[in-house]
Structure 1
Amino acid sequence: MTTGVPTSTAPRRRSPARTFLPLAIAAWLILEIWLLSLVADAVGGLAVAALLAGGMILGVVVIKRAGRRAFKNLADTFQQAQQGRQPAAQQPGQGNGLTMLAGLLLIMPGLISDVAGLLCLLPPVRAWIGRSAARSLERKMASAPAGSFGDAFTQTRIHYPDGKVVQGEVIREDRPQQPGGTGGPGDTAYRPPLAP
């Protein structure tokens, strides 16, 4: 029994990210191991072990601080919402996501990941990454077809000043009313709201 829905038999194109991401991860791991062996030859294995342990401890501390700050921000947002105030919007790069990413990079064993984690902790770098990610997300959402996840994401960002999403129907009051309310295009008689 066929359902009448056409199916494509053409093979799907593999995205470049799915092609190159495994190669990039493998190259990164090989580079990390090579760099650790170079540093171990220069300063000794004990110093490398201490360096990796210090990076892990620093990463745990960074993630713990970012988690506490995220929980405090969440509690403040709920408190402001209960008091009827609009929570202040965060600037790109001031969130805790990049700080937690920096902590995860510090926890991972390796010198390149530690340097990347330390760079993510710097406020100018964090702000630049946040702005770049926000612009990239905006471009992807703007080019999303209607009815997709991107369209839904865009629709949820249409807010009234109090932060509540209001769904409804727009009735124009500036059209001339036809006498007798005939239901024509100029009729402004009462219309019930749209029901889901």
Structure 2
Amino acid sequence: MTFGAQQQTLNSRPPRRGRARRLIPLGVAVWAVLEIWLLTLVAGEAGGWTVFALLVGGVVAGSYVIKRAGRRAWQRLTQSLQTPGAAPAPEPGGGNALTMLGGLLLMVPGLISDAAGLLCLFPPTRALLRRTLGRRLERAGAGGPGPLGEAFRQAQAGRSGGKVVQGEVIRDDEPPAPGPGGPQLPR
């Protein structure tokens, strides 16, 4: 018996990675190089202090947006918990996910991410992104198996009313209630 030796399988090749898993690291690297190049280009034209002010302004604006969207989400949660039977009313501008994503993209240093964050915050483009992403998630996850499909189905069921199963809570720390055949307490 040897320790540390890997067992050979019938197929000794490593499992294939999907195309997205191969391209995501390359995309992140290209994005980072573009951000740095654009920042140096702007710094050469407008000066280093201007770039610094843009980056600090992006962080401040992004944190404000995330704080505001988080506060709205917290208020909706407390309202839905205070009225147990009612489902929360949909917001006129939609959910907070794209707003929070926009704030996060504003906080990431770089001008391309700031532009993408502003697209997530501007109402017409946010509605377009929401519809496009909703259709893609429906196609990718709703019909297929896996954690994404299951999470999407659960979110859809929760939003549309879902199925409620009535039940009874039985606590172990309380003594059983006296019933017709149970022990009688002395009077």
Deviations 1:58-108 (A, max 9, x none): 011011101101101111111232xx33333457x6111111111111111
Q: Judging changes above 3 Å, is the alpha-carbon distance between structure 1 residues 49 and 153 closer, same or farther for their aligned structure 2 residues?
A: closer
Aligned residue pairs total 155
Q: 2:34 & 2:10 partners in 1: Cα distance?
A: 42
Contact 2:80-2:86 at 8 Å conserved across structures:
no
The equivalent residue for 2:35 is 32
Letter in 2 for 1:154: R
1:55 Cα offset (Å): 0.8
Letter in 2 for 1:88: A
Q: 1:120 & 1:111 partners in 2: Cα distance?
A: 14
Q: Judging changes above 3 Å, is the alpha-carbon distance between structure 1 residues 118 and 156 closer, same or farther for their aligned structure 2 residues?
A: closer
**Between the two proteins, what is the percent identity of the paired residues?**
55
Which sections of structure 1, spanning at least 5 residues, go unmatched?
A: 1-6, 168-196
Letter in 1 for 2:164: V
1:1-196 aligned at under 5 Å gives the runs 9=11, 11-81=14-84, 84-89=85-90, 94-145=94-145, 148-149=146-147, 150=149, 154=153, 157=156, 163-166=162-165
Letter in 2 for 1:121: L
Q: Judging changes above 3 Å, is the alpha-carbon distance between structure 1 residues 107 and 154 closer, same or farther for their aligned structure 2 residues?
A: closer
TM-score, normalization by structure 1 = 0.68
Letter in 2 for 1:61: Y
Deviations 1:6-46 (A, max 9, x none): x8736422111111111111111111111111101101111
1:157 Cα offset (Å): 4.9
Letter in 2 for 1:66: A
Q: 2:155 & 2:44 partners in 1: Cα distance?
A: 56
The equivalent residue for 1:183 is none
Q: 2:19 & 2:68 partners in 1: Cα distance?
A: 36
- Report the secondary structure of 1:85's partner residue: coil
TM-score, normalization by structure 2 = 0.71
Q: Judging changes above 3 Å, is the alpha-carbon distance between structure 1 residues 165 and 26 closer, same or farther for their aligned structure 2 residues?
A: same
Q: Judging changes above 3 Å, is the alpha-carbon distance between structure 1 residues 135 and 90 closer, same or farther for their aligned structure 2 residues?
A: farther
Q: State which drifts further: 10-19 or 24-33.
A: 10-19
CA RMSD of aligned residues (A): 2.6
Which sections of structure 2, spanning at least 5 residues, go unmatched?
A: 1-8, 167-187
Letter in 2 for 1:87: P
